[in-house]
Structure 1
Amino acid sequence: MGKYILAINPGSTSTKVAVYKDKKNLLEKNIEHSSKELSKFEKITDQYEMRYKEIEKMLCENNFQLDIFSAIVARGGPVSVLEPGAYRINEAMVEKLMNNPLVDHASNLGGVIAFKLAEPQNIPAFIYDAVSTDQMTDIARISGMKDISRKSLVHALNMRAVGMKCAENMDKNYDDVNLIIAHLGGGITIAVHEKGRMTDLVSDDEGPFSPERAGRIPGKDLVAMCYLYDKDEMEKKLRGKGGLISYLGTISTLEVEKRIKNGDEYAKLIYEAMAYQVSKGICELTAVVKGKVDRIIITGGIAYSDLITSWIKERVEWVAPVEIFPGEKELEALAYGALRVIKGEERAREFK
């Protein structure tokens, strides 16, 4: 008969949804949320009902009833420090996601929506490879200031999925290779996957700037700036109004590349600087594995750009062969993970 899986992946400006029957993708939709629509909500958690109703509407329009699903799985937001893999969504997780997550992020809504859809039908609901998946070593947590520890906030879901795929293409196991994976999207994170564990990383607030995030900023200047603006304004400058939009007034990489093609040298400088910073982040992580890197992987939506990936390859391919996995394999990774759990091939952890 097959197992039907509903996979949900909320992002900053869209909610991606897919229906799988076992490993077959039956339906995939990207529900866009306009800036005007999102501006009505003061906090990200306020968007919950709007996104929930959009998913219900999409399922109804495509003649999928909730009672056919064997599981509902969502991208796990930065809820708490977690191990990789599946966690069963419970009331405690929903409470934490809505009221006290590690970071206020759209992916937090995934677990809440999955739970609210699943509970009335008595369907198991899971998150998988959460943003706050943490396998960092003790030495990697040291920041340089005793009051602040480095945290693991990374695109774990897509990274681990493409890491396993890359290892498979090499006829090796993910647990037997060293990979450095850069996820290029609205936010950019880079992680070293050392024999199947993400032992260190460059998070989106300590490395390259991205279309809407400022990345690593000189510390003394940042401290001084904090006295000119209130907390909310400063946070928006770092996340939402930083990066490309700060310099060029847009988060659209397609728009930036169009400007470059039309001879805009300033746009080219800023865009190449983003690739330059990604390259530095990749090379920074080679020290973790003492230069023993089997592959460098560039993934995420921006990896569709031949311009960006060529700039990065020029600077890093001396380290190891570079492979491009454009786009995001997150919905597939979610569905496959949930399928393994309900078939008994993998155990879901309980959130406490």
Structure 2
Amino acid sequence: MNQRLRVGVVGAGAMGASHVGTLAAGVPAAQVTRVFDLDTARAKDVASAAGGEAAESADALIADPEVDAIVIASPDFTHADLAIAAIEAGKHVMCEKPLAVTADDARRVVDAEVAAGRRFVQVGFNRRFDPGFQDLKSSIIDGSLGEVRVLHGIHRNASNATSTDDAGLVTGSMIHEFDTFRWLLDGEIIGIRVESPVTEGFRDPQVATLWTDGGQMITAEVFVNAGYGYDVRVEVVGTGGSASLEPRTPVIRRISGQGGSAIGSDFVAHFIESYRLELAAWADAALRGDVVGASAWDGYVANLVAGAGVAALGSGARETVDVPERPELYG
């Protein structure tokens, strides 16, 4: 493999184009060589800006000898098959969340890695790389909060063009919370109930109550059309204190009797540094033949929780999350 990781990106929409730009400008270990999108003109524009070329198809990009590793930023339903194709080609993958739409499809990715006898896939749960979330996790690890009892999460978008139905909100947006809480607590979610104050049409917002194998309870509010902006917050409450991750507000203005700070609406801009850190860590690890961050197994378990969440939204009851034995590959 070259000294720099030659990267092919599948998907040149908002997320894919952002990743191409970040790789080109902010990840010295990587070089974007190919981009594929169904919109060929867009793929050419995005690739050209990074010094790469457009590929004829996703399959051609994966097979291209000028591509060492793959970033998957295409629609959710394509993720599992593309990840498996990359694994079979022996190429490392950074797959945007979710790993798949269903747990069964995500399990196919896990099984492909197990069959290969090594890990290739990092799932794009970027909050694991965000300095604020890492600081919050350190407050749990160092014991300063005492025994953690309760977590509260808020995840709001001004508007969302992808999570547009009841199930999609859980599997496409709330799935971030499922991975975040598992990672923060180093534990498993064992039960979930999901409810909404909206009774007709698209049930947005939704509020989940989750139970963990460590005895904690969690609330997670996800509101993908909140209108006012992009807003992500988490509070961890323990027997010795609490720690909160609040929105970044560097400047507070007080003008004409009003005080406050601006709230952005772009989730990419909000987490741009975490995306850079995520991609840099992925590229460095891939050059070593290693995998960091959320694994395919983590992606699969998040899909299991999401599936139980969709069932809970329909039943109105607490649904059990059954996590099977973890394969030795992910030990």
TM-score bucket (shorter structure): 0.3 to 0.5
The structure with higher relative contact order (CA 8 Å, sep 6+) is 2
TM-score (norm 1): 0.38
TM-score normalised by L of structure 2: 0.39
